[in-house]
Structure 1
Amino acid sequence: MLKLGVLGVGAIATVDYGVLPNLHHIADKVELVALCDPVEERTAAAAKRFGARETYATLDEMLDESDLDLVLNLTPIPAHGATSLKILEAGRHLATEKPLATTMEEADALIDLAAASGLKIVCSPPNMLYPSRIEAARLIREGIIGKVAFAKVRASHGGPASMMNWPTDPTWFYQEGSGPLFDVGVYGIHEMLGLLGPAKRVSAFSGITEPTRVVRSGPYAGKEITVTTDDNTLIMLDFGGGTFAVVDGTFNVNAAKGPRLEVFGRKGTLNLPNNLPVNGGRGIDLFLLEAAAGLSGWVDLDLAHLELAQQRVDKLRRALLVDHLADVVNGAAEEVMGGDVARHALEIMLKAHESARTGQALELTTTFNWS
């Protein structure tokens, strides 16, 4: 049984789809031991609700005083690099929310330390653990749709300030060190990398749509937010060999219809919706030029073999990140969300902003194993 500590007891930790409410599904693998958050009354309430026997106000205290195997890092985006480094320096395996860090120097330090210490890193988002994405990757690799020409993914939403009843102050999402590319665009980037492998080059347009946002509803309704980081980024990725992808990272998608993800090959097309049932189901639409006897058309895929795995994903929700780390540490799974993938995604995001500033397509220097 692996002993878990959780750093950060905010919304992602405690909402119904979050980590803590769903850890009981992996009680055979992981024991929740400790919670850490500077807001002590919040930590105490979460410990009582979810059965953690230890609470701490600082990460240093938790790492020094608690006997842990794994730590889940749920801090705000700007704090990921420094807090994750402390976790690894203390000899604990790391699961962290996205992005891995906010600079390449931080990301390199995390990966180098983990490798030298025999520790494991997994980094959200978990999209490539979804059965529909695993199946789509298999279809692409087996050549079912032929050589991939290009792909598109719509990863964005309207931003926390536009959502109904956002429970906390969303200001920091619109400030330097955060922004929609780190918050939501990262999901689409990870999906593209999982389906198509490491990218070679990136180019982008990026900017601030409006200098001020007003919180639409919830406890901070009416608050004006000064936007200091780009809230509208569109990326083009070059995977080599004439294969390209388009990814958005923006707080300007208030509504959309159609597939989340489209992959266009020389022999056919794959369409994938959002994985969540509340957003349109989890199927795969497949079009083939040679569907039958020289006829083209949409093909009905039998995905019944994915149902048990999908049911497990539906139950675990955000706890899927901890489940994957536990399996990796126990040798029961290969890393799907490892540090090398997260570092490559981070380089794409950082160079996307640089590309937008300079007007140049930029070469990527990092990579990851993909087969």
Structure 2
Amino acid sequence: MERKPLKLGILGAGMIATFDHGVIPNLKYIPEKVEPVAVADPVVEKAEEASKRFGIPHVFASLDEMLEKVDLDAVVNLTPIPVHGETSRKIVEAGKHLATEKPIATTMEDADAIIEIAASRGVTVVCSPPDMLYPHYREVRRLVQEGTIGKVAFARVRSSHGGPGSSWWPGDPSWFYQKGSGPLFDMGVYGIHEITGILGPATRVFAFSGITEPYRIVRGGPFAGKQIEVTADDNTLIMLDFGQSTFAFVDATFNVNAAKSPKLEIFGRQGTIQIADHRAIREGAPPVEVFRTDAVPGLGGWIVPESWGLQMEGERQNRLGRAILVDHLVDCVWEGKKPVLSAEHARHALEIMIKCLESARQGKVLDLTTSF
């Protein structure tokens, strides 16, 4: 059976859509899988600019108009965080496959509805972040599951940076600091996805969370010097319980201006696994290192797993940039397989984020009810 490229609508023409590592510029690497036919943005000038730059034939000022007037197979949702839930619901209600940026929504009601409607319409949903597609995260998952470091005791995940207002940023970063957004939904979602992708669903959450300073000054870019009022918590620290005395710590803040620690560390009874951060990898550090207490008889030591296959796959995925989300969606649609970046996983991460804010307010450990 001949596989035809999916006709793709792009909702949102901002940074994640158009920057060099973003979605639209890198669709050129998968022309056999996807045909971008329309772009919509409420700031229609942005959509028009993307249309001209990337040769997308149809331009719209709203999702409703795009869904009504163009024949689409799928939509990639690149809108700001607070409107993910509403717009994704409309997309699956229209019977279109969905690839959406993180998080899947900001309420459990919206997340549940997206999953239920997609199932009833027979459409596929994939949700960023894409980390569990990357070969070094999948390799760490395999190593942990095969008992390479023995029983896992705890993990540390760094999921923060200084915030978009802390350095040069091409647009107005104010909305990142407002209620409905913040570093938990913007950055913490990465660490939560990573550690649950490796260890599986968590069972309980406890957190501390608050606002470090009521105002921030944008340090670079066209809005340098602008004062931003901070209304979303910008400093959240999360503890996760995976059962059987396996725990994890995830930070989700806009207060990490620099760090040299690994991106992720997992400590087991017979060893340690760590994933380097992007800066270290760019400077030549191995993505994954493993310490085993029995590297050689009687001696512990660090090991660097090597695989040409994993390296080649990683190079392809790095080339795709954020378009890897669309690439994964098409593979799942064509092959009828459950996504690695499933909506159920995204819903579990969302429950963790919502309940960690509740936990911080109540000072209590809260049970989690979702799984994937």
Same topology, TM > 0.5: yes
Map 1:1-371 to 2 at 5 A. 1-164=5-168, 166-275=169-278, 277-278=281-282, 281=285, 283-331=287-335, 334-368=338-372
Q: Deviations over 1:259-307 (max 9, x none)?
A: 1100001111001013574376552110001111121111232232311
What SS class does the counterpart of residue 238 from structure 2 fall into?
Answer: strand
Instruction: State TM-score, norm by structure 2.
Output: 0.97
How far apart in 1 are the matches of 2:67 and 2:201? 35
Counterpart Cα distance in 2 of 1:280 and 1:234: 30
Q: Counterpart amino acid of 1:296?
A: G
* 1:150 alignment partner, SS class: strand
Which runs of structure 1 show a deviation greater than 6 angstroms over 4 or more consecutive aligned residues?
none
Task: Indicate the larger mover: 256-265 or 279-288.
Answer: 279-288
Q: Evaluate the alpha carbon distance shift between residue 279 and residue 59 of structure 1 in structure 2; reply closer, same or farther with a 3 A threshold.
A: farther
Q: Distance in 1 between matches of 2:218 and 2:283?
A: 23
Tell me how far apart the structure 2 counterparts of residues 279 and 318 of structure 1 sit (CA, whole Å).
Answer: 22
Query: Could you say what secondary structure the match of 1:350 adopts?
Result: helix
Q: Which runs of 5+ in 1 are unaligned?
A: none
Mapped contact 2:286–2:304 kept (Cα < 8 A): no
- How many residues align? The count is 367
1:36 to partner: Cα distance: 0.4
Query: CA separation in 2, counterparts of 1:274 and 1:84?
Result: 31
In structure 2, give the amino acid aligned to 1:263.
I
Deviation at 1:11, TM superposition (A): 0.6
User: What is the aligned-residue RMSD (CA, Å)?
Assistant: 1.2
What displacement does 1:210 show? 0.4
Q: Deviations over 1:155-211 (max 9, x none)?
A: 1000011022x0111111111100000000100000001110000000000000000
Distance 2:102 2:164 in 1: 16
Return the offset for 1:40: 1.9
1:72 Cα deviation after fit: 0.4
SS at match of 2:335: coil
TM-score, structure 1 normalization? 0.97
SS of match in other structure, 1:63: helix
Whether contact under 8 Å (1:132, 1:275) holds in the other structure is no
Provide the secondary structure at the position in 1 that maps to 2:244: coil
The one-letter code sitting in structure 2 at the alignment partner of 1:112 is E
**CA–CA distance in 2 between the matches of 1:234 and 1:69?**
40
Cα distance in 1 for residues equivalent to 2:132 and 2:336: 17
**Quick one: distance in 1 between partners of 2:188 and 2:161?**
9
Amino acid at match of 2:328: H
